[in-house]
Amino acid sequence: MKNLWSDIESKQFKDDLDLRVYSSRLLGQNSSLVLHGGGNTSVKITETNLVGEEEEILYVKGSGWDLISIERAGFSPVRMAHMIKLAELESLSDPQMVNELKTQLTDSSAPAPSVETILHAILPFKYVDHTHADAVVTISNTSNGEDRIREIYGDRVVVVPYVMPGFDLAKDVGKLFSEQANDKTEGMVLLNHGIFSFGATAQEAYDRMIDLVGLAEQYLINQNAWDVGKSSANITPDSIRNEVARLRQNISAVIGSPVLLNLTNSERGIDFANQGNVAKIATRGPVTPDHVIRTKRIPMIGRDVDVYTKEYKSYFDTHEPNANERKTILDPAPRVVLDKEFGLCAVGKNMNEVGIIADLYEHTIECILRAEKLGGWQALPASDIFDLEYWDLEQAKLQKGGNAPEFQGEVVLITGAASGIGKACVESFLARGAAVVGIDLDASIKQTSVHNNYLGLVCDVTDEDGLRDTLEIGVRHFGGIDMVVLNAGIFPSGKAVAELSTDEWRKVFSINLDANLTLLRETHPLLKLAPNKGRVVIIGSKNVPAPGPGAAAYSASKAALNQLMRVLAMEWGSDGIRINTLHPNAVFDTGIWTDEVLASRAKHYGLSVEEYKTNNVLGIEVNSKDVAELAAEMCGSLFAKTTASQVPVDGGNDRVI
């Protein structure tokens, strides 16, 4: 356990709260201590209030903040005096406690104080650090974990049996602390939960945390339980996209809405999924109940969702919720899947959630394997986990959730996504909550968006093998394909048929028609497995209903693509897949409209470039965003009963009208 404290850096901070921020961030940098919002820190500071009175204020990490990036604003200032009075009560419900904490904030704009606020208040130390250190919870999650903890630390720590976070934990800690603490006390271990360290200064509390966790790590090393090694796990087969999409469809059906399914490609995950006893050791519970809500309790072994849900429900046989609770609250769908071929898979409504779940379970795997070498992995009883899942505060969060984005948990594939209409489509679908696979021949496709829900892949759409490989990557990353926007195409410079070479004709057709045929054929099995049914939007052209001279190859290829759309609408209707075409015209912020092409077409019609841009019935300019927004809308509920439609986006073209 490396100590990251720097005397040079720490001297830059002038007050106690700044040092609290600094040491909290040091803790947050170590994922074996805290991960994705886990852990908690606080500092007690005497301040003068508005009426000139001195009062002690507890600055405790606020809800929604992560230690790795926390700032001064991330600490909630609450009045210590009232916290001490609350701690003396015989009982206090969690909703009442949360209300009391809010009423004692000295800054109404501060985040909600941690549910461990009273616990931090009663500990008689200026600085308090709390982490879910992997090494500590690994040791405590064994059959004789408490004995091992006491063996490691002696009287340096107070040992507290697991109690759910909140008022009851604060009461238990207050009692046990008064019984066990002495002048050598440096910290506290909450069995199956984590470790606290205390100090008069930020550095002292931090140093003690590193030292105490280091002792746990050294214990694991000494017991030959640190290095868990690797097995010769099988590599995932070349083509599994349809199987992945089917698994995602089944999980989404259990949840009742689409979700993303990510094959993490974790070597540790593949190895763990291929352990002979994985079904036993992976289903004994989480490392700490702090992970319960985000990863669920029982990882799914293999791909049989029906078997999994039965096992999940039987997990609570002795703590069965009533029928109404089961209907409205209990969610038996997995958030973690362990499969011999797929490895470690994470399930979530977006890639941020997926990433958190994957990271948490990576650490869980390591803890389980070390605990097994230490004598056997043993998590908390199901009753404690059940209680946390149905905790008043967690249920309040669920009920407060709000409306989900329209395409949350769904995946769209967009071709020609590096610029113009394609790039605008990326932005429109991301804004509606979709995960986006953007493909383009241009290498800039990788940087088209920095959104966590975006995956940019370089692909030549005329390369059939390349398209298949791209689909494989996209499905393994997001779990399937729900929507397709066919936008990639070329618009060659104007040329009469008499001057048009066969090679040029074929090149246009290979990109505008043949490549789209291949992509539609390859995505059809995936679209059939889309939880909300598949949708396709083809970016056509005004030249389909109203071709112009000098654009034979382009007009004919787009017309053929449109005819293909009409055929597929009939063939795929029985699969619930709808397919529609948008016919834009004169969208000049796209890649095909170079200055040369624009000038040539304007000259052909005897117009200036500006006149040509607004040469429509409404006299307006149509841009890429206009087309993209309608493309996204066509995949939404408004067009749920529409297929084989052709909708112009052209400001009104008199030749079409």
pLDDT digits (tens, 9 = 90+) for 227-270: 987 765 666 678 999 999 999 999 999 989 999 999 999 999 99
Nearest CA to 199 out of 189, 209, 191, 214 is that of 209
How far apart, in whole angstroms, are the C-alpha atoms of residue 34 and residue 39?
6
Task: Residue 412: count other Cβ atoms within 10 Å of its Cβ.
Answer: 28
Residues 366-403: pLDDT tens digits? 999 999 999 898 877 655 544 444 344 444 444 455 68
**What confidence tens digit (pLDDT) does each residue in 188-235 have?**
999 988 999 999 999 999 999 999 999 999 999 999 999 987 765 666
pLDDT for position 388: 44
Q: Which CATH number fits domain 7-222: 3.30.70.20, 3.40.50.2300, 3.40.225.10, 3.10.129.10?
A: 3.40.225.10
**CA–CA distance, 355 with 336 (Å, rounded to integer):** 11
The two domains 7-222 and 241-400 share their CATH topology (first three levels equal): yes
The mean pLDDT of 35-41, rounded to a whole number, is 83
Q: What is the mean pLDDT of residues 151-159?
A: 95
Per-residue pLDDT tens digits for 595-650: 888 888 889 889 998 898 998 999 999 999 999 999 999 999 999 999 999 999 99
Q: What is the DSSP letter of 494?
A: P
Look at residue 401 in the predicted model and tell me its pLDDT. 54
| Cβ neighbours, 10 Å, residue 29 | 12
What's the CA gap between 528 and 639, in Å, rounded? 18
Please give the mean pLDDT across all residues of the chain: 90
241-400: CATH topology: L-fuculose-1-phosphate Aldolase (3.40.225)
State whether residue 260 is helix, strand or coil. strand
DSSP secondary structure string, 134-175? HHHHHHHTBTTHHHHHHHHHGGGEEEE----TTHHHHHHHHH
Mean pLDDT across 564-586: 97
Q: Which helix (H) or strand (E) holds 427?
A: helix 420-431
pLDDT value at residue 233: 60
> Per residue, what are the HEC states of 38-96?
CCEEEEEEEEECCCCCEEEEEEEEECCCCCCCCCHHHEEEEEHHHHHHHHCCCCCCHHH
Starting at the earlier edge strand, list the strands of the sheet with 411-415: 454-458, 435-440, 411-415, 483-486, 535-539, 578-584, 646-649
Residues with active-site annotation? 554
Element (H or E) spanning 647, and its range? strand 646-649
- Class (C level, CATH) for 411-592+622-649: alpha beta
| pLDDT score of 390 | 39
**Spans of all domains in the chain:** 7-222, 241-400, 411-592+622-649
CA 626 to chain centre: 29
Reported as a single tens digit per residue, the pLDDT across 78-123 is 999 999 999 999 999 888 998 999 999 999 999 999 889 999 999 9
Q: Which of 479, 478, 581, 608 is closest to 520 using CA atoms? A: 581
pLDDT value, residue 387: 45
